[in-house]
Every structure is written in structure tokens, then in C-alpha cells.
Structure 1
Amino acid sequence: MKSYSVNEINEILNGVIVGTTSQNITAPEQLEVATETEITFIGNKKYEKLWFLSKAGVAVVNEDISIEPGENRAFIKVKNADLAMSQILALFAPPAPVFQSDIHPTAVIDITATIANGAKIGACCYVGPNVKIGESSIIYPNVTILDESTIGNNTIIWSGSVVRERCHIGNNCIIHPNATIGADGFGFRPCPEKGLVKIPQIGNVIIGNNVEIGANSCVDRGKFSSTVLGDGCKIDNLVQIGHNSKLGRFCIMAGHSGLAGSVTLGDGVIIGGSASIKDHTTLGSGSTVGAGSGVTCDVPAGKTVLGYPAVEARDALKQWAILKRLVNDSKK
């Protein structure tokens, strides 16, 4: 079991220790359930009151905290407790699954594929013709990478994922279990003779560096040209990204959200859970879409929209307030 003193932890955080404790810390835990040997986090002043109900021995807190730790307890004050939390979690993280050999004997790798130094490929993987896998990338068991796709350096692809033909994933990416990169876009047209005719999807997917895609998410290939995810994008579980969509850098999409075809996101766009974005719309850089909203038209840069159909947040809140008053008046 890993165990660290408060001083050892603070060597990583470079914060300021307030209070003292004789306890060594064996794990991080949320504030309400942490025990004496666990470290927790207070990232917002509204949670300060919970400290007195918690049994945690140590808390990482923001510099503006207004309470004292108490007897045999300590705070580590930092500029940003949420960012410090990521360092603590990395410190206590258990080791990754072990590879007994760099390339498992049950993996099927085409003779034309290129596997760089340090790459690892797990059991029952399939790596197709002319695939390139970069240095130190890890392909966990039961992953399929089809023809002419490329995987950058230090990228991790978890079990069950499929990278279809001619798709390209950059460096330092993480693809979580059962994600699909490059599925056919949803393209059909009515035909008097045949009912619905499938429109061939002949493009691909291009994913930049430092991108993370959650479990069971799907990024459709372009009908023509590419569906593109810019550097640093973070995609949650169960997200749908439609064909020919273009995401700028550092976009965030929360779970169950979706982009229809040919949606364009600027840099730093945030889309809340279960939000849906109509095809051929543009969301400007720095815009935010609230959870559960339905966007049917372009959103200017920096704006926040809410509701279904989505409107500017300020207007949505006014509408909801009026509706609430109407309901209350009807009950009188």
C-alpha cells in the first residue's frame, strides 16, 4: 500500500501546510466519506462546512479558505485545489495492466504494418495492411485497427475499440473501451424504386494530439474529406460526432451529447450532457451549450445558450421565470 506524509505530498504540490498531523496518507477520497488516513479536497468555499463532518486527516484547499483544519489535521493550501487533485490522484494511481510481451502471440498483424519501438499490442488485436503505430503506444486486447490507419506516439487504445480504415489518431491520445473511430456517417436519401438509398461515406477521421474519447462514443467518418477533432479535445462517454464535423482545439463534449453532420465548433467550446446540435451549424470559440439543450442555429463566440430550442442563457432564464409565474398564478 502506498503511504506518504503530508510533507512528502506537499513536495509535489508546492503548497503551504497549515496545521499538523501524525497520520500518513494512504489514499485520496471524497470529503464526505474520507477517513483519518485519507486526503480529500475542498475546491469551493461552499463545501467548507462539510470539513467539520468529515474524518479526513488532510485536505488540499484553495488559498482563500476561511476555516482552520483543527487538531491533528492539516490543510495544504494551493492556488487551485482541483488541479492539485489531478496530481494527487496520479500519485496514488494503481499500475496499468501488465503486458507479458510487447506483442501478444495471438495478435494478428499484417506484414505491411509498421510497429514502432516500444509499442505494445495485446491479445487478439487485429492490425490491418499499411497501418502505422507510433512509439510507445499501447493497444490493449481485442482492438481492431483497419487498413492504412495511423496511430501516433504514446497513444493508448483500450479494449473493444475499432479504428476503421484510413483514420488517423495523433500523439498522446486516449481512446476508451468500445469507442468507434470512422464508422459510416448517417447518410440516406429517399428513392421511389428502393425506398432509402445509402449514401457512401468515403472520407475519414483525423484526430489531433492529446485528445481523449470516452467509452462507447462514436466519431463518424466524413462523407467526403474528413471529420476532424482538434488538439486537446475531451469527449465523454456515449457521445456521437456526426460526419464532416470539425472541432477546434480544447473542445469539451459531456456524456450523451451529439453533433449532427457538418457541425463546426471553434476553440474551447463546451457542450453539456445530452445537448444536441443541428447539422450545418457553427458554434463560435468559447461558446457554451447548457445540458439538455437543442441548438438549431449558429451560436456567436463566447455566448452561452440554454433550452430547447436553445437561446441565449439570459433570455432562457427570463422565459423560465415567466413560465413559473404563470404556473403559480394558475394555482391561485
Structure 2
Amino acid sequence: MKSFSIQEINEILKGELIGNTTEQIQGPEELGKALNNHITFIGSPKYVRLWKDSKACAAIVNEKLNVEPGDNRALIKVKNADLAMAKILEAFDPGPPQFDEDIHPTAIVHESATIGNGCKIGAGCYVGKDVVLGDSVILYPHVSIFDETTIGNNTTVWSGTVIRERSVIGSYCIFHTNVSIGSDGFGYRPSEDGRGLVKIPQIGNVIIGNGVEIGANSCVDRAKFSSTIVGDGCKIDNFVQIAHNCIMGRSCIMAGHSGLAGSVTLGDGVIIGGSASIKDHTTIHSGAVVGAGSGVMKDVPAGQTVLGYPAQESREMLKQWVAMRKLTQA
């Protein structure tokens, strides 16, 4: 088990140490759950009052907050407690599961596949024809990578993930459990006799940039033609749907249960709240924010925040909600 003195913690954070504690810190914890060997975090004025009754021996505190350490307790004041917390979590991280051998004997790797230096391929994996894995790619057990897919350096793919043929994956990506990349897009049309549906072939692929993280059970569908594209640095939560021919710019965020219908375009830095739905062939321009649970039916200008169903500019939507409340109280 890892442990640090308060001085060692402050060496990591480069903050202002106030007070002192002789306790060895064995991990981070919430204010209300912390024991005397824990460090906690105070990032907002509403949590300051909880510090007095917390058992934590130390706290990381936003520098503008007025907090006193107390007896055998210490504070480390920093500009941003959330970012400091990320550093502490990294310091206490016990590390990922280890591989006993680089390529497990039960893995199936096609003879034409190219495997980079330092790759790890777990039990029950399948690596298909002409697949290219860059250096230090990690495939945890039961990952399937189909033909002609390329994966860049230092990408990690967790168990149950399936990456379909001809996908192009960047470097330093993380795909969590049961991610689906490159399944058929959802395309059907009524048959000529009107008695059924005709499946539209989906012959494109998926291109995913560098530094993309995709949460468990999320799906990125292949394009009907051309490519579905997820730009560099995008972060996608669990249970997210990205349909065929969508294009996401750089550093977009999609929260859980949100979805893009076919041929949606997102600019750079777009934020999609949880359970929001975006209509097909819609463009959401750079820096726009879509509130949780909203339904976007038309294009959203750059930098605008929209709310509601159908989604409208946030201030206008809030006015409508206030007016509706007044009507019900009349």
C-alpha cells in the first residue's frame, strides 16, 4: 500500500503548506468518509464547514478559501483543488492489471498482422488480417480487432471491445470495456413494394484521432460511405451513441446516454450534456453547450448554450420555464 507524508504530498502539488500532521497519508477520501490517515479536498465554500468534523488529517484547499488546519492537521492551498486532486489520485493509483506474457497463447493473431514493440495482447484476443498495432498498444483479454485496422502507439483497449475492419485509431487512446467501433450504421429505406425495409449498405469506416477516451458500452458506427470521424482529444462517457457519418471536432465532450444521429457535425470544444439527443444532419458549432436532456432540432451557433426539448437558447428557454410556472400558479 502506498503512503506519503504531508511534505511528500506537497512536493507533488507545489502548494502552500499550512500546519502539519505526523500521520502517514494512505489515500484520498471524501470529507465525510475520511479517516485520520486520509487526505481530502475542499474546492468550494459550501464544504468548508465540514472540515471541522472531518477525521481527515489533511486537505487540499482552493487558495481563496478561509480554512484553519487544526491540531495535528494540515492544509495545502492550491489554485485549483480539482486539478490538484487529479495529481493525488495519480500518485495513489495502484496501477493496471499486469500481463504475465506479452502475447497470451490463447490469443489469435493473424500471420499478416504487424505488432509493434512492447505490445501486450491478452487471453482470447483476436487480431485479424493486415491489422497494424503501433508500439506499446495494450489489448486486455477478449478484445477483437478486425481486418486492416490500424491502432497508434500507446493506445489501451479494455476487455470486450470490438473494433471492426478498416478502422483507423490514433495514439494514446483509451477504450473502456465493451466499446463498439465500426459497426454498421443504422440505415434502412422502405422497399419498393412497401411491404418491408431495405438495408442500406454501410461501406465506410471510422477514424478516431489521438488522445480520445471512450467510455464503457459506447458505440461509434461506421459511415455509409467516407468516414465517421472523432477528433483529437474527445472524451466520450458510457452509453453514448455516435451514428454513421458524424464528424466531431477536437476536444468535444459527450456525457452519458447522449446521442448523435447520422451526419451530425460538432465543432471544436462542443459539450453535450447527459441524455441529450441531436437530430440528424445538424451542425453544432465550436464552443457550444447542449444542456442535459435537451433535444437539438436545428443548428447551434458557436459559443451558444441551448436547453430544453426542442432545444433553444438557454436564456430564452429559462424565460419560458418561468412563464409556464407562473401560469400554473395563477
TM-score, with normalisation over the residues of structure 1? Answer: 0.98
Residue in structure 2 matched with residue 325 of structure 1 by the alignment: 326
Residue 146 (str. 1) matches residue 143 (str. 2): no
What displacement does 1:78 show? 1.0
Query: Could you tell me how far apart the structure 2 residues matched to 1:46 and 1:299 are?
Result: 34
Deviating more after overlay: 317-326 vs 165-174: 317-326
- What corresponds to 1:49 in structure 2? 49
Q: Deviations over 1:27-47 (max 9, x none)?
A: 111122111111111122222
Match of 2:220 in 1: 219
User: What letter is aligned with 1:291?
Assistant: A
1:166 corresponds to which residue? 166
Q: What is the aligned partner in structure 2 of residue 84 from structure 1?
A: 84
Shift of 1:50: 2.0
SS at match of 2:41: strand
Q: Offset at 1:79?
A: 1.2
Distance 2:52 2:313 in 1: 40
Greater displacement, 204-213 / 89-98: 89-98
Q: Post-superposition shift, 1:52?
A: 2.1
Displacement of 1:71 in angstroms is 1.7
Corresponding residue for 1:260? 261
1:97-176 equivalent positions in 2, closer than 5 A: 97-176=97-176
Asked whether 1:302 is paired with 2:303, we answer yes
| 2:240 is the alignment partner of 1:239 | yes
CA distance in 1 between counterparts of 2:45 and 2:289 reads: 24
Taking the aligned partners of 1:60 and 1:144, their CA distance within structure 2 comes to 42
Map 1:13-52 → 2, pairs under 5 A: 13-52=13-52
Opposite residue 146 of structure 2, the aligned amino acid is L
How much does 1:279 deviate? 0.5
The DSSP-based 3-state class of the residue aligned with 1:111 is coil
RMSD value, Cα: 0.9
Cα drift, residue 48 of structure 1:
1.5
User: Which residue number corresponds to residue 274 of structure 2?
Assistant: 273
Aligned residue in 1 for 2:62: 62
Letter in 2 for 1:209: N
2:323 is matched by which residue type in structure 1?
Answer: I
Q: 1:164-187 CA distances to partner (integer Å, 9 max, x unpaired)?
A: 000011000000000000011110
3-state secondary structure, aligned to 2:61: strand
Answering whether residue 202 of structure 2 is matched by residue 204 of structure 1, we say no
Q: Distance in 2 between matches of 1:154 and 1:23?
A: 37
The whole-number CA distance in structure 1 between the counterparts of 2:205 and 2:45 is 46
Q: How many residues align?
A: 329
- Between the aligned partners of 1:44 and 1:163, the Cα distance in structure 2 is 42
- The structure 1 segments of at least 4 consecutive aligned residues displaced by more than 3 Å after TM superposition are none
Distance 2:39 2:236 in 1: 29
Deviation sequence 1:174-210 (CA, Å, 0-9, x none):
0000000001111000113351000000110000000
> Residues of 2 paired with 1:177 and 1:285: CA distance?
29
Deviation at 1:49? 1.8
Residue in 1 that maps onto 2:93: 93
SS of equivalent residue, structure 1 residue 185: coil
Give, in angstroms, the shift of residue 161 of structure 1: 0.1
Matched residue type, 1:166: R
CA distance in 1, matches of 2:273, 2:32: 26
**Distance in 2 separating the partners of 1:45 and 1:285:** 32
1:1-35 Cα offsets, whole Å, 9 max, x none, are 11100110111111111111111100111122111
Scaled by the length of structure 2, the TM-score of the pair is 0.98
Q: Distance in 2 between matches of 1:290 and 1:147?
A: 39
Distance 1:183 1:41 in 2: 42
Q: Secondary structure at the match of 1:95?
A: coil
Aligned mates of 2:44, 2:227 — CA distance in 1: 41
Q: Percent identity?
A: 66
Q: List gaps (5 residues or longer) in structure 1.
A: none
Cross-structure match for 1:289: 290
Which ranges of structure 2 fall in alignment gaps of 5 or more residues?
none
- The letter of the residue matching 1:96 is P
